């Protein structure tokens, strides 16, 4: 039996959900949120199963004013970061690409730190 929960969303995020609903043919907002949740769980499970020495790319998009936070976090992971590319993609937005090699657990921790800061708009770990 399905449970009903209450979720607070910004107006912008709600507009994006509505747009996604229209573009993809979902019947309602709940369907979009359920599908998104399933995708997030599947992605987390995939990352959870990573082990050993791996290669990956970490993609971040953040507001330029949070550059200090990105720098603060990344300094603790220089042992796995091989290359970093920084680019300004919009007026106040930055794109960061981290090419990494090393321990999967360290990559998971780094990714989680960026995901939980609330200052990073987009975080995606791609394993190779």
**Average pLDDT over all residues of the chain:** 92
pLDDT 10s digits, 9-42: 999 999 999 999 999 999 999 999 999 999 888 8
pLDDT on residue 26 = 92
Q: Are residues 67 and 119 in the same domain?
A: yes
Q: Are residues 70 and 105 in the same domain?
A: yes
Q: Are residues 33 and 18 in the same domain?
A: yes
Residues facing residue 124 across a β-bridge: 59
Q: Specify the higher pLDDT residue, 123 or 2.
A: 123
Q: Are residues 75 and 114 in the same domain?
A: yes
Q: Is residue 4 part of a domain?
A: no
In the DSSP assignment, the letter for residue 64 is G
Instruction: Answer whether residue 128 shows pLDDT above 90.
Output: no
Phi then psi for residue 71, to 5 deg, are: -60, -40
Contact 111, 120 (CB under 8 A): no
In the DSSP assignment, the letter for residue 117 is S
Q: Is residue 26 part of a domain?
A: yes
pLDDT 10s digits, 78-90: 999 999 999 999 8
pLDDT 10s digits, 88-119: 998 899 999 999 999 999 999 999 999 998 88
Region of 116 please: left (phi>0), alpha (psi -120 to 50) or beta. alpha
pLDDT 10s digits, 42-61: 888 887 888 899 999 999 99
pLDDT on residue 90 = 83
Q: Are residues 43 and 95 in the same domain?
A: no
Q: Is residue 2 part of a domain?
A: no
Determine the structural domain holding residue 115 and report its residue range: 52-127
Q: Is residue 17 part of a domain?
A: yes
């Amino acid at each position: 039996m399905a449970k009903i929960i209450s979720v607070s969303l910004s107006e912008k995020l709600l507009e994006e959900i509505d747009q996604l609903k229209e573009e993809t043919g979902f019947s309602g907002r709940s369907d979009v949120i359920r599908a998104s949740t399933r995708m997030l769980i599947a992605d987390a499970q995939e990352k959870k199963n990573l082990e050993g020495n791996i290669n990956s790319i970490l993609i971040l998009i953040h507001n330029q004013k949070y550059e200090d936070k990105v720098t603060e976090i990344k300094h603790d992971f220089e042992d796995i970061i091989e290359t970093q590319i920084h680019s300004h993609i919009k007026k106040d937005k930055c794109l960061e690409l981290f090419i990494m090699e090393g321990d999967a657990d360290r990559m998971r921790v780094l990714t989680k730190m960026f995901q939980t800061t609330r200052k990073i708009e987009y975080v995606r770990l791609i394993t190779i």
